[in-house]
Homo-oligomer: A and B are copies of this chain.
Amino acid sequence: MEGLKDLLKRVQNGDLEIKEALNELKTLPYKDIGHTKIDTHRKIRRGFPEAIFCENKTKKQILEILKQFPEETIIATRASQDIFDYVKKELNDVKYHKKANIIQVGEKLNKKGGKVSVVSGGTSDEEVAEECAVSAEIMGNEVKRMYDIGISGLHRLFSKLEDLRNSRVIVVVAGMEGALPGLVASLVSVPVVGVPTSVGYGTHLEGIAPLLTMLNSCVPGLSVMNIDNGYGAAYLASTINDLSSDKNE
């Protein structure tokens, strides 16, 4: 931003011809201004600056990235105990959410808004559900967990109907045939986000089967995330939750 101010001052002072100023400005849009503007925007938008996806990164790479944000809340997803043991030696205010495989650096954010419900179908889907729930909590949402209420026992789902209808937004995590999100969506009027998981075998195709189920739901308006992407669902839920509170301001 300083570069731009200087340029304008030099024009104001007559130190810089308009033609030359124009030439300099032509290269600016993609550089200084753009940089500053988007960056500022990103911080506001996201609620917190960065989430690191640990798979395919070395412990050293992860630690280096975490250190770049010394005064902000930041999380690392798909983080093993081993990674946590490695990074905690060099970081302050860091904790590990074991079931969620999430490392949290800094405090969870505060925000007002409705409740995000995280629903899962079976015990095996819990890791993804927890990735979603913990992420959403760190982003400042109030989270209601409703686990193990899969389609094979419909009564378990119905007993939660009141809670579901009182949510602002619902994330439904499901492996196997992935029919749960559609079923939930057929019973409520709030936005529902489906997250297929890779839990299954054979024709499950590591999550392709429930993904297809969700994309083809005859219940309109169900939106879908990538397989096992609990963090992404939390992010979307948080964005939607932010929306409603914005309105109150």
Contact = CB atoms under 8 A, between A and B. Distances in A.
Interface of A: 1, 4-5, 8-9, 11-12, 14, 18, 21-22, 25-31, 33-35, 37-39, 41-42, 44-46, 51, 53, 55-57, 61, 65, 114, 121-124, 150-159, 161-162, 168-169, 176-179, 182-183, 186-191, 193, 196, 198-229, 231-232, 235-236, 238-240, 242-248
Nearest to A179: B179
Given A162-B27, A182-B177, A226 B213 contact: no
The number of times this chain is found in the oligomer is: 8
Contact of A187 (B38, B203, B212): B38
A-B pairs with the 7 shortest C-beta distances? A202-B227, A30-B158, A45-B189, A29-B29, A223-B223, A179-B179, A221-B235
Given A240-B243, A244-B244, A224 B224 contact: yes
Contacts of A157: 30
Contact of A246 (B37, B123, B244): B244
Given A151-B183, A212-B212, 20 more contacts: A12-B14, A27-B162, A28-B29, A121-B218, A152-B186, A177-B179, A177-B213, A179-B183, A179-B213, A179-B217, A191-B239, A191-B240, A196-B202, A200-B216, A202-B228, A203-B226, A209-B212, A220-B231, A244-B244, A248-B248
A27 B29 CA distance: 9
Contacts of A186: 151-154
A226 B202 contact: yes
12 contacts: A8-B21, A27-B161, A29-B29, A45-B189, A46-B189, A53-B124, A55-B124, A151-B219, A154-B187, A202-B228, A203-B227, A221-B235
A168 B242 CA distance: 11
Contacts of A220: 51, 152, 231-232, 235-236
Nearest to A37: B26
Contacts of A8: 8, 11, 18, 21-22, 25
A80 to B, nearest CB: 15
